[in-house]
Amino acid sequence: MGKNDYRIGVLTLSDKGSRGERVDESGRLLAEMVAELGEVARYQIIPDDLDTIIMMLKSWSDDLHLDLILTTGGTGLSPRDCAPQATQAVINYLVPGMAEAMRSASMKITPRAMLSRALVGVRNQTLIINLPGSPKGVRENLAVLLPVLPHALEKLNGSPADCAVPL
């Protein structure tokens, strides 16, 4: 697959957003930021409910075969924040370097970044990335990952290209 060929899902996790009580700025921003990678084939706002999130992640990966799923919201410490638990429940393996890179970059901006529980992992051939719920957090965190996302998605799609980057 080449640039612009990927199928992407944006999943906003927000009780208020799912009830229409809040405008989803973060999900819209995510869709804009990844537009050059491919088509945002699915965009949905759902409540912070563990079973609902698990069901959606499985469906988008297994049934729709999306290449990339970006979640926004639910990565903090509040009792309703369950994006990492849902992601952990569905992935085959973690990609810890990506989550570590987001936290490391965010720590340069705010010490509160250490409270993020965001995960990045793979289910089958779908890369799932948890991002914060605020537009500022989305912009800062996704900007860290954008340079490596094309290569990550190529590798998940079976590219035999070398991972070494020439100096």
Within a domain: residue 109? yes
CATH of the domain at 89: 3.40.980.10
Separation of alpha carbons 24 and 45, rounded Å? 8
Strand partners, 56: none
For the stretch 43-96, pLDDT in tens is 999 999 999 999 999 999 999 999 999 999 999 999 999 999 999 999 999 999
Tokens at residue 9, please?
Answer: 């899902």
For the stretch 26-40, pLDDT in tens is 999 999 999 999 999
Question: Domain count of the chain?
Answer: 1
> Residue 85: what residue type?
Q
Is 112 within 8 Å of 151 (Cβ atoms)?
Answer: no
Residue 162 — very low, low, confident or very high, per pLDDT cuts 50/70/90? confident
Tokens at residue 127, please?
Answer: 């890369």
For the stretch 54-63, pLDDT in tens is 999 999 999 9
Domain that holds residue 85: 6-155
CA-closest candidate to residue 44, choices 64, 28, 65, 66: 28
- Whether residue 164 has pLDDT greater than 70: no
- Whether residue 144 has pLDDT greater than 80: yes
Within a domain: residue 86? yes
Within a domain: residue 1? no
Within a domain: residue 64? yes
Residue 102 CB contacts under 8 Å (≥ 6 apart), including other chains: 116, 118, 120, 131, 141, 144, 145
Q: What is the pLDDT of residue 148?
A: 97
The percent of residues in the chain predicted with pLDDT above 90, rounded, is 91
Q: What is the pLDDT of residue 166?
A: 57
Q: What is the pLDDT of residue 167?
A: 46
Three-state secondary structure along the chain?
A: CCCCCEEEEEEEECHHHHCCCCCCHHHHHHHHHCHHHEEEEEEEEECCCHHHHHHHHHHHHHHCCCCEEEEECCCCCCCCCCHHHHHHHHCCEECHHHHHHHHHHHHCCCHHHHHCCCCEEEECCEEEEEECCCHHHHHHHHHHHCCCHHHHHHHHCCCCCCCCCCC
The average confidence (pLDDT) of the chain is: 94
Average pLDDT estimate for 129-138: 97
Within a domain: residue 108? yes
pTM: 0.94
CA-closest candidate to residue 53, choices 76, 71, 77, 31: 71
